[in-house]
Structure formats: structure tokens, C-alpha cells
Amino acid sequence: MTAAVRRAPVPAARSRHFWGSATRLVKRLAPQRGPAVAVIALGVTGTGIGVIVPRILGHATDLLFNGVLGRQLPAGITKGQAVAAARARGDTTFADLLSGANVVPGRGVDFDAVGRTLALALAFYLVSALLIWAQARLLNVTLQRTMVALRADAEDKLHRLPLSYFDGRQRGELLSRVTNDIDNLQSSLAMTLSQLLTSVLTVVTVLAMMMSISPLLAAITVLTVPLSLLATRAIARRSQRLFAAQWASTGRLNAHIEETYSGFTVVKTFGHRAAAREQFRRLNDDVYHAGFGAQFSSGLVAPATTFVGNLGYVAVAVVGGLRVATGQITLGNIQAFIQYVRQFNSPLSQVAGMYNTLQSGVASAERVFELLDETEEPPDPRP
């Protein structure tokens, strides 16, 4: 049983058609066009509503802050008189801060207005969460239907392939493509597709809100994006190659196990058990090293992007604090902006963190598409 002890040649470890396979994978969703449009609509609406909430909370902060400032000022004067008095006594910092605030001297915090504002924010959060939940549920239905169709296509393809195709390949490797790779593809898409869609929508809408508050602070935040992309690209090149090697090694290991146990009588009769165990050990080591390297390399993406994002967060906090002190922006707006910075960086870190899962799924998709693209046996001529 030479096939059971022969070490299969190691194919090229690099994923050859990453973007082509990813694009083809997206096209597989075309039959579910209606649900896909509904998923996008729910995502846009839910994300848009959720992004408005920090501005509402910023308004609540302004109500509190303006009330505290107003209570410290004597009643019966205007804000302009209070600013002039502060400058006259040399307190220019307080004068600048007061000039940028919407205060009424002598009036304290309007807690009724604060309560209404917080209730509105809570209602928006609930509606956003409900829409995002509906989007995730509908996306899961769409994905499951797509995977059912992909499994059926793979099964039909196997029945249309010539016998020479099966003679030249190990059965375990073929089974790995139809079972392990499709299962991995399904789990990868389930974990990444919804999050990827929500992350893209969040980045776009949050960027628009940041621009409406302060173009300068928005520019500081956006400057960190190229650094994050460079870090992600440098790490992804290596992990992409290792993920392709991981699933190729898994296929070879499955082929060895299937052939060894289906022909166990022959292996035992001719004394090939030691050689079969040694080959299993080598193939298992290949899976271990490729899997460990892929997970380790891709796991560096999220910490790298988080570090770069924190640099931008610190810069925004410093510049924003100076602008609040000089009255160029309100405290509520800078609070909302800092929340937007977190919302802007969070999707980037999430996408970077799930990039390993996406790469693993696309590597499996490439193996499945290779099977679907094989030349079929011509149909028998009709009598």
C-alpha cells in the first residue's frame, strides 16, 4: 500500500487568487439578491441611528456644563457682560471658555431638558440595536441558503467528473474540500460578513459626523488610517501564505488518514504500520506549524492597529482640550468627537482582528472553486 506511506508533494503555499476567490464568493450571494438588499438597508439604517447618539449625549453634556457655568455668574447680566468682566480682571482663559458656551447668567442646570435628551438617546440606542439584530438574523438566513447551494454544486460536480480525476487524487483530500473547506468557509463568513458590513457602514457614517463637528480633528483621526493599513498589509502577506498552507496540509492529512484506515488490512499485512505512523506524524506537524504560524501572524494585526488608533486618540484629546479652553468648540462636542474616535477605530481594529478568519475562509473557498472549475466528463451521446 504505497499510497498510504508516500509523502504527498507540498504545493505552493501562497494563496494564488485571494481577491479573485473573494470576489467570486461574493457573487455566490447573487441568487439571494432580495434578502441581501434588505440586509444592507437594515445595516445602513441601524448604523446611522446609532451614530447619532453621541451627538445627543454631547448635547446633554453641554446642558449640564452650561448650567454649572451659569449658576456661577450673577443673575441680571448678559453673557457678553460676563465675558467682558472676566477679561477686565485678566481671566482670559475663563473668558474664552465662557464665550464658546451657551450660558444664561444666574440660570442653573435644566434637569428636565437633560432627562428628555437622555431618554431620546436611549430610544435611539434601542431602535439601532433592534435593526442590527434583524440585519444579523436575515444575513444568517442568506448565508445558510448560499452554503446549501454551494454544497449541492460541489456534490453535483463530483458526479460529472471523469474517473481519471479520481484516479489521480487521494479520496481524503477530495472529501476535505467538500466537507472541511465548505464548513470552514461557512463559519468564516458567519463570523466576518455581518461584522464587516457593519464596520464599513460605521466608518463612513462616523467620519461624516466627525467632519461636521471639526474638520481639523477629523483630519488628525484619518491620518492614522494609512499607518494602520501599512501594518495590516505587512502582516497579512505572511499570514495569507500560511493559511493557504494550513488548509492544503489539512487536506493531505485527511487523505492519509482515509487511505490508511480504508486499507488498514493491507497496511497491517505488509508491515507498513510504522511507516504510516511516521507519515502521519510528519503531516500532523505540517498542519501544526502552518496553523500556528497563520494564527500567530494574523493575531498581530489587531494589536498593531489598536496601538496606531490610540496614538490618534491621544492627539485628538490634546488638540480638542485646547480648542475647548479657547472657546472654539463646546465640551459636549469634544465629548461626542472622542466617542466617534473610538467608534471609528473600533471597526478598524475589529476588521483587522477578524482578518485571519477571513483569510482562512477565502483559502478554503479557493480550494472549493478549484474543484468546481475542473473539466467535466462529456455527456454520453444519445443513441
pLDDT 10s digits, 12-21? 334 456 777 7
* CA dist., res. 364 & res. 151, Å (int): 13
Q: What is the pLDDT of residue 259?
A: 75
Per-residue model confidence as pLDDT tens digits over 167-222: 777 777 788 888 888 888 888 888 777 778 888 888 889 999 999 999 999 998 88
Per-residue model confidence as pLDDT tens digits over 308-334: 878 888 888 889 888 888 878 888 888
In terms of C-beta density within 10 A (0-12 exposed, 13-18 middle, 19 or more buried), how is residue 140 classed?
middle
Helix axes 33-72 and 111-160, enclosed angle (nearest 10): 160
* CA dist., res. 325 & res. 56, Å (int): 22
Per-residue model confidence as pLDDT tens digits over 30-77: 888 888 888 888 988 988 898 999 999 999 998 888 888 888 888 878
Higher-confidence position of 256 and 138: 138
* CA dist., res. 90 & res. 83, Å (int): 11
Structural domains of the chain in order of their starting residue, each with its CATH number: 10-36+143-372 (1.20.1560.10)
Whole-Å CA distances, 256 to 166, 253, 278, 370 = 15, 5, 11, 21
State the pTM of this model: 0.65
The answer to whether residues 66 and 101 touch, using CB atoms and an 8 Å cutoff, is: yes
Mean pLDDT of the chain: 81
Per-position b or e across 257-267, b if 16+ CB within 10 A of its CB: bbbbeebeeeb
Residues with Cβ within 8 Å of residue 28, at least 6 apart in sequence: 146, 149, 150
User: Distance between alpha carbon 360 and the CA centroid of its chain, in Å?
Assistant: 14
Q: What is the pLDDT of residue 10?
A: 34
The answer to whether residues 329 and 100 touch, using CB atoms and an 8 Å cutoff, is: yes
76 Ramachandran zone, left/alpha/beta (phi>0; psi -120 to 50): left
* CA dist., res. 65 & res. 54, Å (int): 16
Instruction: From 322, 99, 121, select the one nearest 214 (Cα to Cα).
Output: 322
Per-residue model confidence as pLDDT tens digits over 266-291: 666 676 778 778 888 888 888 888 77
Residues with Cβ within 8 Å of residue 125, at least 6 apart in sequence: 50, 53
* Weakest mean pLDDT among 24-33, 92-101, 315-324, 338-347: 92-101
